[in-house]
Amino acid sequence: MIDTWHSYSGNIHIHTRFSDGEKLHDAIAQDAIAAGLDFIIVTDHNVYVTGVEGYYRNERGRVLLLTGEEVHNVRRRPQASHFLAYNARKELASYASDPQSLIDETVKAGGLGFLAHPYEEDLPLMGEINLGWHDWDIEGFSGLEIWNYMSSFKNVIARHTTDLRWKNKLIAKLGALRIALHPERYLNGPEPETLALWDDFLSKGMRVNAIGSSDAHGTPMQLGPWRREIFPYEFLFRAVNTHVLLSRPFNGDVEHDRLLLMQAIGRGNCWVGYDMAGPTKDFRFTVQGAAKGIMGDEMPFGFGATLQIRAPVRCRIRVIRHGQVVTEVERESNLTYIPDEPGAYRVECLIPYEGRERGWIYSNPIYLR
Ligand SMILES: [Zn+2]
Ligand SMILES: [Zn+2]
């Protein structure tokens, strides 16, 4: 198969010193280049930072840096329902108190809006209530952040320490420290609750695009006398990323490349890859037949429509329709499937990593109508 697609990797949920992150844009861009990313979108809390977009370069390469915003209502208790706005190119924090107008204003401005870390566990160890999405009377959002690395890390700690919370807080804290030292041994994939939510939307016929990201802050972690920058930006840029597939390459012009990138994310021509377990850049999910397309595309059902998956290495590959696995293979790098009914077909790949099979690739669906 001749592959004419252009694959780009990026991280699109990042905080700088303009909110609660540790570094500024230039230093974060350098970390992104070091991690081999092609684009990053910084999303500070309730502030749209201007004057920093563009290509950042060094002797190792370049990265496109764009600005979005993570908006939430600071007067809400808990301060949940975080909204990621991309490409609205204006301040949106003033709409934070009403999630629907926040979505509407984002879309009206030509932007895309995603629900950040939609499912989270309460974290009694730290006295925190979960910051998932709580305000479900909404419509018109672009999609879900199906995998947020830092949120997954918090959830792992919550699940490991909940039983201990009344017995021995010190044991619980040491357990959390062990997880923080080796998060790769504990993270298995997106929260099953988030995937179920996504499948539920898809089974209702909705178009809901998936993205995945780091939520990098670069914050030092303090646990008693022990203090270190536990999740540096560069580390996180090698973990959960959003990968887009473009029919035309970036040409180095910021406006040109912004348009291509935003169209791809808006159409779902992208997948979420856990690149720490293995690079996912060469993943492909296409539909062949009378009409041809890729993940995120909508095609007529029938006419010999055949789904084709190519994984970067042999792994477990699943095709999922509305929450049901319709076909699955083990230790294969290719899978072909001819659907027998219309619907939204998405792909998951799992790979052995750190002694266990882990979630690796989560593709947006191909919609057969
Ligand atoms: Zn958030
Ligand atoms: Zn965030």
Render pLDDT for 293-307 as a digit per residue (tens, 0 to 9): 999 999 999 888 999
Question: Measured at the alpha carbon of residue 113, what is the angle toward residues 45 and 47, in degrees to the nearest 5?
Answer: 20
Centre of ligand 2 to C-alpha 317, Å, is 30
Beta-carbon count within 10 A of 136 CB: 10
Which ligand does the CA of 72 lie closest to? 1
- Has residue 133 got a pLDDT over 80? yes
Centre of ligand 2 to C-alpha 200, Å, is 25
300 φ, ψ (degrees, to nearest 5): -70, 140
**Cα separations (Å) of 9 from 63, 74, 227?**
10, 32, 31
Question: What pLDDT does 124 receive?
Answer: 81
Separation CA 140–CA 319 (nearest Å): 26
- Mean pLDDT score, 171-181: 84
Beta-carbon count within 10 A of 281 CB: 15
Separation CA 157–CA 187 (nearest Å): 10
Centre of ligand 2 to C-alpha 225, Å, is 27
Q: Do the strands 240-246 and 6-14 form a parallel or antiparallel pair, or are they unpaired?
A: antiparallel
Centre of ligand 2 to C-alpha 146, Å, is 13
Q: What is the DSSP letter of 87?
A: S
Centre of ligand 1 to C-alpha 148, Å, is 9
- Mean pLDDT score, 7-24: 97
Which ligand does the CA of 20 lie closest to? 2
Centre of ligand 1 to C-alpha 204, Å, is 27
- pLDDT class of 347 with cuts at 50, 70, 90: very high
Question: What pLDDT does 226 receive?
Answer: 65
Question: What pLDDT does 224 receive?
Answer: 65
- Has residue 164 got a pLDDT over 60? no
- Has residue 80 got a pLDDT over 60? yes
CATH number for 6-276 (one of 3.30.1300.10, 3.20.20.140, 3.40.1280.10, 3.10.110.10): it is 3.20.20.140
Write down the H helix ranges in the chain: 25-34, 99-108, 149-161, 169-181, 192-203, 233-237, 254-267
The CATH 2.60.40.10 domain(s) of the chain lie at 282-369
Q: And the tokens for 297? A: 């595309």
The CATH 3.20.20.140 domain(s) of the chain lie at 6-276
Centre of ligand 1 to C-alpha 369, Å, is 34
How many residues in the chain?
369
Provide, rounded to the nearest whole percent, the portion of the chain with pLDDT above 70: 96
- pLDDT class of 167 with cuts at 50, 70, 90: low
- Mean pLDDT score, 281-299: 94
Q: What is the DSSP letter of 233?
A: H
Beta-carbon count within 10 A of 218 CB: 23
Neighbours of ion ligand 1 (CB under 5 A): 82, 116
CATH number for 282-369 (one of 3.30.360.10, 3.40.50.12780, 2.60.40.10, 3.40.50.1820): it is 2.60.40.10
Of the candidates 342, 346, 338, 339, which has an alpha carbon nearest to the alpha carbon of residue 364? 346
Question: What pLDDT does 69 receive?
Answer: 98
Centre of ligand 1 to C-alpha 313, Å, is 33
Instruction: Rounding to the nearest 10 degrees, give the CA dihedral for residues 182, 186, 191, 193.
Output: -140
pLDDT in tens, 219-266: 877 666 666 677 999 999 999 999 999 999 999 999 999 999 999 999
Q: What is the DSSP letter of 188?
A: -
Centre of ligand 1 to C-alpha 359, Å, is 22
Question: What pLDDT does 175 receive?
Answer: 83
Determine the distance from the C-alpha atom of residue 125 to the mean position of all C-alpha atoms in its chain, rounded to a whole number. Answer: 26
Q: Tell me if residue 102 falls in helix, strand or coil.
A: helix
Question: What pLDDT does 165 receive?
Answer: 52
**Cα separations (Å) of 60 from 27, 175, 188, 234?**
14, 39, 32, 14
Centre of ligand 1 to C-alpha 134, Å, is 13
**Cα separations (Å) of 356 from 186, 236, 330, 359, 360?**
10, 20, 14, 10, 12
Q: Which residue has tokens 């027998």?
A: 340
Contacts of 327 by beta carbon, 8 Å cutoff, 6+ apart = 318, 319, 335, 337
- Has residue 45 got a pLDDT over 70? yes
Cis amide bond preceding 99, omega within 30: no
Q: And the tokens for 309? A: 């998956």
Centre of ligand 2 to C-alpha 7, Å, is 25
- pLDDT class of 2 with cuts at 50, 70, 90: low
| 59 and 86 Cβ atoms separated by less than 8 Å | no
- Has residue 1 got a pLDDT over 60? no
- pLDDT class of 125 with cuts at 50, 70, 90: confident
Q: Read out DSSP for 313-357?
A: EEEEEEEEETTEEEEEEEEEEEEEE--SS-EEEEEEEEEEETTEE
Contacts of 315 by beta carbon, 8 Å cutoff, 6+ apart = 331, 332, 333, 349, 350, 351, 360
